[in-house]
Amino acid sequence: MEELRLDGQVAVITGAGRGLGREHALLLAARGARVLVNDPGVELDGSGGDATPAAEVVDLIRARGGEAEVNLDPVGTVEAGEALIAQALERWGRIDILVNNAGIFTDRYPFLDTTQESFERVLLVHLYGTINCTRAAWPHMAARGYGKVINTTSAVGFVGSVGRMEYGVAKGGIHAFTRTLSLDSLDSGIYVNEISPGAGTRPVSASSEFFTDELLAKFSPHLVSPTVLWLAHPDTTVNGETFTAIAGTTAQVVIGEAHGFGSDEPSPESIRDHADEVFLDEKVYAAGLVRHNEADGQGQVLIARFGNRV
């Protein structure tokens, strides 16, 4: 089997000091990419800062014969996005791959406990971090007629999760950004896709009551990164797609609709009487479509279907 390699390419990965971003950086570097490892080393809520996580990833890449640099900019602002991309260009003169992975989190609490500040804080890193880093990289990718942008959404943005309002809204926004941007991205030679990952990282292990230690062990972050590398490779030409990447499983995620009921003169009563046409037919589910009703259980469903090939 021919190995997918990224020799000579430059990848910028946000939030790459720990968890998923760390594994993305290590794998892409192992396959030949030069990696700018962005991570200010903040706590889960975005407070504090520590240069150690990003530096350790860079040291490990270099020890393995790869090439990497540290970036500590806290993504979210226009200025931070521009500084991040400028560093990659100054060091290597190009940017081929942008992986928007950085994020912060909140404790679980009901909607009425959310605040304007809590929304702004989470949206700044997740959504505006994705937008501003992409905006900064875009003209340089477009000038070369090539680029790969890989965003990080979440099932929480599609099906929800109890007590994760700000996070879900941010991830839903990233999905909308990805899909809309992809509609004209190929005119510039840029491919825009997103992953919806699941792994036993800090926020999951700290806040999820659904995952036991044994189950978390099956959700290693390194099982997500192969999907990122596949999307980052020049031979992968999908665009505008969303892929679940959980516990060794990669699956396309789609937003669709049922065949539906139509009438020239619809009435509430006619809709009621044809409600079976409004919903998806059971045959669709029998053919393989999986409908998740809550994000926390999604990974467990995948384990039940496919096992874990670790």
Q: Say which residue, 161 or 117, is predicted with more confidence.
A: 117
Report the pLDDT value the prediction gives residue 310, as an integer from 0 to 100.
Answer: 41
For range 154-158, the mean pLDDT = 91
Report the pLDDT value the prediction gives residue 255, as an integer from 0 to 100.
Answer: 87
Residue in 169, 170, 143 with CA at minimum distance from that of residue 75? 170
Q: Say which residue, 238 or 306, is predicted with more confidence.
A: 238
For range 142-170, the mean pLDDT = 95
Distance CA 54, CA 48 (A): 14
Question: What is the pTM for the complete model shown?
Answer: 0.92
Report the pLDDT value the prediction gives residue 288, as an integer from 0 to 100.
Answer: 74
Report the pLDDT value the prediction gives residue 301, as an integer from 0 to 100.
Answer: 65
191-226 pLDDT tens trace: 999 999 987 666 665 555 556 677 667 788 999 999
Distance CA 295, CA 176 (A): 18
Distance CA 294, CA 167 (A): 14
Average pLDDT for the chain? 91
CB contact at 8 A, 44 and 53? no
Residues 6+ apart with CB under 8 A from 219: 198, 199, 200, 204, 211, 246, 247, 299
Q: Which helix (H) or strand (E) holds 69?
A: strand 67-71
Options 109, 146, 167, 285, the catalytic residue: 167
Q: What is the CA radius of gyration of the chain?
A: 20
Domains by residue range for the chain, with CATH: 10-253 (3.40.50.720), 268-306 (no CATH)
Q: Is 285 one of the catalytic residues?
A: no
Over 80: is that where the pLDDT of 300 sits? no
Residue in 22, 2, 27 with CA at minimum distance from that of residue 231? 27
For range 222-235, the mean pLDDT = 97
48-105 pLDDT tens trace: 888 999 999 999 999 999 999 999 999 999 999 999 999 999 999 999 999 999 999 9
Over 90: is that where the pLDDT of 26 sits? yes
Over 80: is that where the pLDDT of 302 sits? no
pLDDT winner (highest mean) among 135-139, 197-201, 282-286:
135-139
